[in-house]
């Protein structure tokens, strides 16, 4: 039985109502002062109000940029409006969807059914490859080591290794590249065999995942988003392996979901997952100095093409809120023309 797609399809169906994670929108706290008497209290109040207005105007006008940008406010997302827009998109779509969004710059987090279990499909390859590179960075594995293709690794679907003879050897580095860029199912199975399925499950638990693939290849939007953030952190702090790993995810051939409607200024590192009735994508989106992660998972969908369009629309709405309406102008034009990038 292989991990990528041959697990039992049973899964927990405990649907939750629309919810938002409690971690979103850390708001600026206001100090409370005791009231003073007379004109002194009035003067202090006027001065304080003026200062707050001036600071807010500076942020609104864009004069505070880069590291000076506020990092613990709701300035990136109008949470209620975005939740309303995303709810409209998913409620009118075929099937059921879970969404998780986190703005790295501010820590804002929101979602629709973000912790619900969905079948992950090939999205499991993101934490698997991340585990491999973290071990390589720690000196525990050598990416130049080779693994031979065996009969137990065989799995139909996406990828190229299935066309090779049993016994053909591939380096861990090449398997990682193929598992991401081609979403190669055989490469994923070979890496899972090399690292050990039990150790992979323990890795996910240790990272803080709440839905782990112990018997079924399940995950949640929140857990996939957490691993995407961990991937970004690894690539940002590891000069030796970070650029190589991020390069795999930005070069993936499957771009018909989260990246499909975004403008060319957006750099997207993503990993899709597909299985009959389940269509997923998880991504790191970077535009200028703004970084956010987005994970969308679905179930009971009738077609890959329709669900991919829904995910692309969700991605566009999130991008418009996080990056800004001005930054989304090109994307809106592409959406109006009905343009979508084709899947690999």
Over the stretch 127-166, which tens digit does the pLDDT of each residue have?
999 999 999 999 999 999 999 999 999 998 889 999 999 9
* Local structure of 106: helix, strand or coil: coil
pLDDT band at 335 (very low <50, low <70, confident <90, very high): low
Angle CA(179)–CA(181)–CA(187) in degrees, nearest 5?
15
In the sheet with 290-299, reading across from the earlier edge strand, the strands are 109-112, 96-103, 290-299, 278-287, 267-275
What mean pLDDT is reported for the chain? 80
CA 254 to chain centre: 15
Looking at domain 72-123+132-139+209-336, its CATH superfamily turns out to be DD-peptidase/beta-lactamase superfamily (3.40.710.10)
What is the pLDDT at residue 333?
55
Does pLDDT of 194 surpass 90?
A: yes
Look at 292 and 21; give whichever has higher pLDDT: 292
Q: Which two tokens stand for residue 105?
A: 């710059």
Question: Across-strand partners of 146?
Answer: 171
pLDDT interval class at 103 (50, 70, 90): very high
In eight-state DSSP terms, residue 170 is E
pLDDT at res. 147: 98
Point out the least confidently predicted range of 65-69, 243-247, 287-291: 65-69
pLDDT of residue 117: 96
Task: Tell me the C-alpha to C-alpha distance, in Å, between residue 300 and each of 115, 173, 310.
Answer: 17, 35, 13
Residue 45 has pLDDT above 80, yes or no: no
Place of tokens 């827009």: 85
C-alpha closest to that of 105 among 152, 71, 78: 71
> Residue 41: its pLDDT value, please?
44
**Which of residues 185 and 6 earns the better pLDDT score?**
185
Helices (H) and strands (E) in the chain, counts: 10, 9
pTM, two decimals, is 0.74
Residues of the chain above pLDDT 70, percent: 72
């Amino acid at each position: 039985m292989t991990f990528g797609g041959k697990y039992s399809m049973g899964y927990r169906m405990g649907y939750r109502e629309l919810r938002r994670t409690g971690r979103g929108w850390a708001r600026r706290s206001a100090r409370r002062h005791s009231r003073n008497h007379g004109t002194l209290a009035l003067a202090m109040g006027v001065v304080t109000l003026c200062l707050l207005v001036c600071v807010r105007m500076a942020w609104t006008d864009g004069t505070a940029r880069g590291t000076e940008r506020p990092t613990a406010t709701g300035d990136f997302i109008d949470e209620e409006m975005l939740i309303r827009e995303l709810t409209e998109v998913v409620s009118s779509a075929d099937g059921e969807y879970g969404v998780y969004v986190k703005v790295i710059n501010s820590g804002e987090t929101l979602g629709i059914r973000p912790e619900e279990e969905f079948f992950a499909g090939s999205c499991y390859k993101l934490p698997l490859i991340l585990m491999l590179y973290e071990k390589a960075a720690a000196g525990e594995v050598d990416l130049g080591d080779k693994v031979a293709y065996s009969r137990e690794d065989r799995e139909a679907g996406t990828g190229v290794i299935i066309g090779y003879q049993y016994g053909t050897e591939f380096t861990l580095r090449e398997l990682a590249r193929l598992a991401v860029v081609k979403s190669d199912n055989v490469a994923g199975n070979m890496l899972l065999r090399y690292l050990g399925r039990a150790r992979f499950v323990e890795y996910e638990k240790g990272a803080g995942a709440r839905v782990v693939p112990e018997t079924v290849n399940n995950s949640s939007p929140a857990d996939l988003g957490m691993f995407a953030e961990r991937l970004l952190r690894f690539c940002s702090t590891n000069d030796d392996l970070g650029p190589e790993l991020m390069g795999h995810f930005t070069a993936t051939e499957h771009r018909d979901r989260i990246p499909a409607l975004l403008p060319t200024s957006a750099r997207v590192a993503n990993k899709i997952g597909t299985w009959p009735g389940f269509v997923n994508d998880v991504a790191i989106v970077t535009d200028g100095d703004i970084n956010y992660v987005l994970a969308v998972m679905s179930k009971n969908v009738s077609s890959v093409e329709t669900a991919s369009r829904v995910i692309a629309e969700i991605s566009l709405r999130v991008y418009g809120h996080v990056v800004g309406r001005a930054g989304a102008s090109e994307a809106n034009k592409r959406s109006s023309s009905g343009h979508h990038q084709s899947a690999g």
